[in-house]
Chain A
Amino acid sequence: MRPGRLMRLKGMMRKEWLQVIRDPSSIAIAFFLPILLLVIFGYGVSLDAQDVRIGIVVEQRDQPSLSFVGGFEQTPYFHPSTFLSIQEAETALRAAEIDGIVWVRQTFGSDYLTGQSPPIGLIVNGVDANTARLIQGYVQGIWGSWLEQQAELRGGELTPPVQLEQRIWYNPEVRSTDFLVPGVLAVIMTLIGALLTALVIAREWERGTMEALLVSRISAPEILVGKLIPYFILGMGGLLISLAMASFLFHVPMRGSLWLLLTTSALFLWVALGMGFFISTVFKSQFVAALVAMVSTFLPAFILSGFIFDIRSMPDLVQWLTHLIAARYYVSILQTLFLVGNVWSVILPNSAALVLMGLFFHGIVYRKTHKKLE
């Protein structure tokens, strides 16, 4: 490398860096927002229903009825309240005071004892379908263990034809934090990489500084590299903070190699920076660039990356669309590295996709950035 080039790059990088640290909004996006998002997702957001408000209606307080509903008192999943009649409970359900009703009818005890296989009613509010399904699962669990308990009491053993044993790998406690926090990392990296940089080239055009840069000795690739490196460092800084929070604050397990995580994160950051530069180069106004960055990078990273909503559940067309979202590959790598380990059959194809996307964006930016005003 010629000494002149090194000096130009150094000058460009120092300038970018000074601008970053003097602009409170850059700092806010790079450091404040990641911490805010991690805290909200780490502590606040959970798909695991707990303390479900369930209404219990026991019309006859006999032993079988009471032993069944007793199961609801002992789990952390439910917060039961008792109603005297089903009408009362239904009113409460309609007023959204409770999320579901367990209804043990008058004749349940006697029918049970006479072996007539009486029904237990479960009514859930289906508005929030996901929570409703989780409630169903929990109630089925309580019901199953009650059946076993009853069989033991009668001196026998419940021998259903099929005895199911379940094993949830990688996350046996089924903590949603463990999969949400790695996903948030992808959102944060998109934010720093794409949103922040989408503004930086547009800003140079808007403030008229680009023209002065263009007529200096610096070449177009040097301008790009000089901008890339400071934001890359900023992004990796944000990543380290987030990683530390994920491990020490939220105790997300880290089963893969840290070096692999850092390498793939660097790769994703490079792609995100490419997207930011791409937007910035095409739309020379900060306002439009910021809107486009928000709509085309941040929101998809949130919704189409598999971070909250599983891509496998989406319709085929939308699944196909997610292949255009760089964050999806990174989310997949992150969840695997955090929870599973170094699974090359996941990491290699996803990394390859990231490399392709990065080459695409950086290639276009490289071709579009020339030292001309037209």
Chain B
Amino acid sequence: MGGRLWALIIKEFLALFRDKKSRMAVILPPLVQLLIFGYAATFDLEHATLAIFNQDQGNFSRELIGRFERSTGFDIVGYLQSESQITPLIDGEGALLVLRVGEQCSQKVALGESCPVQVLIDGRNSNTAMLALNYVRTIITTFNQEKAALKGNGLPAQLNIRAWFNPNLESRWFIVPGIIALLAMIVTLVVTALSVAREREAGTFDQLLVTPLRPWEILIGKAMPGLIVGVGEASLIITVTVFWFKVPLVGSLLVLYPALIIYILSIIGVGLMISSFSTTLQQALLGAFLFIVPAVILSGFSTPIANMPQIMQAMTYLDPMRYFLTIVRRVFLEGAGLHYFIHDLWPMSLIALVTLSMATWLFRHRMY
């Protein structure tokens, strides 16, 4: 019996990897995606395009503008001469923001009044707009504090900000570990969801069913490539994340891998369920697609779960990726230990258990 199962597993691997095209299709796209998405998926704003409209001639405004010119966050794209230039520039995406220093700024400051500064931001991408605004605020606040300190009347209190786990707030540190969860899911799901449908279409599934192999043996045979490919792919991506993207791996792999295996098992369960339902490749592919898209969006991969409405937050509890995403990010950056993840691990295990048993049941009842 052991020999039978072993032969089945070997066959599944051969079916997946013998053909060069299929080998490439499993290994290459995830790596390319990791590299491109790792660089592309960022919420950090660098080189924001800034145009300056200075209506003042004095030294004070020149000093203020100097701060912006030296900042790495901004690229100055031009100095405007009249108000009428502002609208076409922002409308036409020539600049993300325009800094307008009001008339008689320097004189007003000399008189102890405030210099009016206006920042006009392109709000088409609200997130970018907020980030740019925060940069501007930070520069002006620092500038104000320094000026006030020089005059001896500093602000009555200070705000000291520290960010734990990611001191420079690099969003890549957040996104790239998330890609581990994303790509491991896509690869595992595609491998398992399509395997039975492909055999059904080729007619080999009948040939398999008339052998003395038991349904659960076939199920394990179908699950193993998914498990090994999923874990293997994830390991590869973890390596790239640490050594290429230099995301710190603070926590222990001994925490990450048990969670990874449970996660992959729950995805395999879903994949096998899709497999049992579908009779053609197209259906299987569509089924996988219909699972992947909501699962990714509801997982908190690109936008935080906390920002979703209550109903959708409730729905995220059914999404295995939600749990693993939390774990992988926190293990990487916080180095959190296993005991922090009890509340993520048991629901994920439950999902794995339910999907795998349903897949087994469906498998037995939809064998024909």
Question: Which of B1-9, B32-40, B210-218, B260-268 has 4 or more CB atoms under 8 Å from chain A?
Answer: B32-40
Return the chain A residue nearest B141 by Cβ.
Answer: A140
B199 to chain A, nearest CB (A): 13
Partner of A48, one of B121, B133, B307, B326: B307
Is A221 an interface residue, CB under 8 A from the partner? Answer: no
A52 touches B49 (CB 8 A): no
Pairwise interchain contact B144-A133, C-beta atoms closer than 8 A? no
Q: Would you call B12 an interface residue if the criterion is a C-beta within 8 Å of the partner chain's C-beta atoms? A: no
Assuming the contacts A43-B312, A160-B148, A170-B123, asked whether A313 and B128 have C-beta atoms less than 8 A apart, the reply is: yes
Let me know if B304 and A121 touch, CB within 8 A: no
Q: Establish whether residues A170 and B122, one from each chain, have CB atoms under 8 Å apart when the complex forms.
A: yes
A218 within 8 A of B: no
Chain B residue, CB-CB nearest to A294: B289
Provide the residues of chain B in CB contact with A40, threshold 8 Å: 294, 297-298, 312
Chain B residues whose C-beta falls within 8 Å of the C-beta of A171 in the assembled complex: 123-124, 126, 129
How many A-B pairs with Cβ below 8 Å? 315
Contacts of B48 in A (CB 8 A): 312
- How far is B39's CA from A166's CA once the two chains are assembled, in angstroms? 30
Query: Number of A residues whose C-beta is below 8 Å from B?
Result: 105
Contact A291 B25 (CB under 8 A): yes
The answer to whether A128 and B157 have CB atoms under 8 Å apart is no
Binds A, one of B222-230, B278-286, B347-355: B278-286
In the complex, the chain A residue whose C-beta lies closest to that of B37 is A303
Whether the Cβ atoms of B140 and A162 lie closer than 8 Å is: yes
B60 to chain A, nearest CB (A): 8
Say yes or no: A47 contacts B171, CB within 8 Å. no
Partner of B143, one of A51, A161, A178: A161
Residues of A within 8 A of B166 (CB): 126-127, 129, 132
Would A169 and B120 be within 8 Å (CB), given that A44-B298, A346-B91 are in contact?
yes
A284 CB to closest chain B CB (Å) equals 13
The smallest beta-carbon distance between B75 and chain A, in angstroms, is 10
Contact A161 B109 (CB under 8 A): yes
Whether, in the assembled complex, A25 has its beta carbon less than 8 Å from a beta carbon of chain B, the answer is: yes
Kindly state whether residue B117 has any CB partner on chain A within 8 Å.
Answer: yes
Contact B137 A129 (CB under 8 A): no
Complex: A115 Cα to B148 Cα, angstroms: 14
* Interface assignment of B90: CB less than 8 Å from any CB of chain A: yes
Are B90 and A169 within 8 A (Cβ)?
A: yes
Query: By the criterion CB–CB under 8 Å, are A96 and B330 in contact?
Result: yes
C-alpha spacing A108/B368, complex, angstroms:
75
A241 at the interface (CB under 8 A from B): no
Chain A, Cβ-Cβ closest to B21? A288
- Closest Cβ of chain B to A40, distance in Å, is 5
Interface 9-residue window, one of A10-18, A209-217, A264-272, A337-345: A337-345
Within 8 Å of chain B (Cβ to Cβ): is A286?
A: yes
Q: Which of A43, A68, A178, A299 contacts B33 (CB 8 A)?
A: A299
Q: Are A117 and B36 in contact (CB under 8 A)?
A: no
Q: Report chain B residues within 8 Å CB of A308.
A: 41, 302-303
Q: Is A314 an interface residue (CB 8 A)?
A: yes
In the bound complex, do residue B114 and residue A93 qualify as a contact, i.e. CB atoms below 8 Å apart?
no
Choose, from A29-37, A243-251, A353-361, A364-372, the stretch at the interface: A29-37
**Residue in contact with A176 in the complex, picked from B116, B126, B136, CB distance below 8 Å:** B126
Interface status of A254 (Cβ within 8 A of chain B) = no
Which residues of chain A are within 8 angstroms of B304 by Cβ–Cβ distance?
A: 47, 49, 128, 131
**B232 at the A interface (CB under 8 A):** no
Is there a chain A Cβ closer than 8 Å to B170's Cβ? yes
A219 within 8 A of B: no
Tell me which of B46, B117, B133, B165 contacts A168 (CB under 8 A).
Answer: B133
Return the chain B residue nearest A36 by Cβ. Answer: B294
Indicate whether A5 reaches chain B with its CB closer than 8 angstroms: no
Q: B residues 14-45 with Cβ under 8 Å of A?
A: 21, 25, 29, 33, 36-37, 39-45
Stretch of A222-230, A231-239, A273-281, A315-323 with 4 or more beta carbons under 8 angstroms from chain B: A315-323
The interface residues of chain A lying within 8 Å CB-to-CB of B312 are 40, 43-44
Contact of B125 among A161, A310, A317 (CB under 8 A): A310
Shortest Cβ gap from A329 to chain B (Å): 12
Instruction: Give chain B interface residues in 143-162, CB to chain A under 8 Å.
Output: 143-144, 147-148, 154-162
Q: Nearest-CB distance from A122 to chain B (Å)? A: 5
Question: A25-B282, A294-B289, A341-B91 given as contacts; is B123 within 8 A of A162 (CB)?
Answer: no
Task: Give the distance to chain B from A286, nearest Cβ to Cβ, in Å.
Answer: 6
| Structural contact, A52 and B137, CB atoms closer than 8 A | no
Residue of B nearest to A347 (CB): B92
Report Cα–Cα, A165/B98, bound state, in Å: 12
Contact pick for A164, options B49, B119, B170, CB 8 Å: B119
Q: A286-B282, A290-B285, A291-B190 are in contact. List 16 more A-B contacts (CB 8 A).
A: A28-B286, A45-B308, A49-B304, A93-B164, A126-B164, A132-B169, A136-B163, A162-B143, A163-B116, A303-B40, A306-B125, A309-B40, A310-B43, A313-B43, A335-B124, A339-B124
9 A-B pairs whose Cβ atoms sit less than 8 Å apart in the complex:
A36-B293, A40-B294, A46-B303, A126-B165, A161-B143, A162-B64, A162-B147, A163-B115, A304-B36
Closest A-B pairs by Cβ, 8 of them: A126-B166, A171-B123, A126-B163, A345-B92, A163-B114, A130-B43, A129-B171, A129-B169
Task: Tell me the B residues contacting A by CB distance below 8 Å.
Answer: 21, 25, 29, 33, 36-37, 39-49, 60, 64, 88, 90-94, 96, 109, 112-131, 133-134, 136-138, 140-141, 143-144, 147-148, 154-167, 169-171, 173-174, 190, 194, 198, 281-283, 285-286, 289-290, 293-294, 297-298, 302-304, 306-309, 312, 326, 329-330, 333-334, 336, 340
Residues on A lying within 8 angstroms of B by beta carbon are 25, 28-29, 33, 36-37, 40-41, 43-53, 64, 68, 93-96, 99, 108, 112, 115, 117-134, 136-137, 139-140, 143, 147, 150, 159-172, 174-176, 178-179, 199, 286-288, 290-291, 294-295, 299, 303-304, 306, 308-310, 312-315, 317-318, 321-322, 332, 335-336, 339-341, 343, 345-346
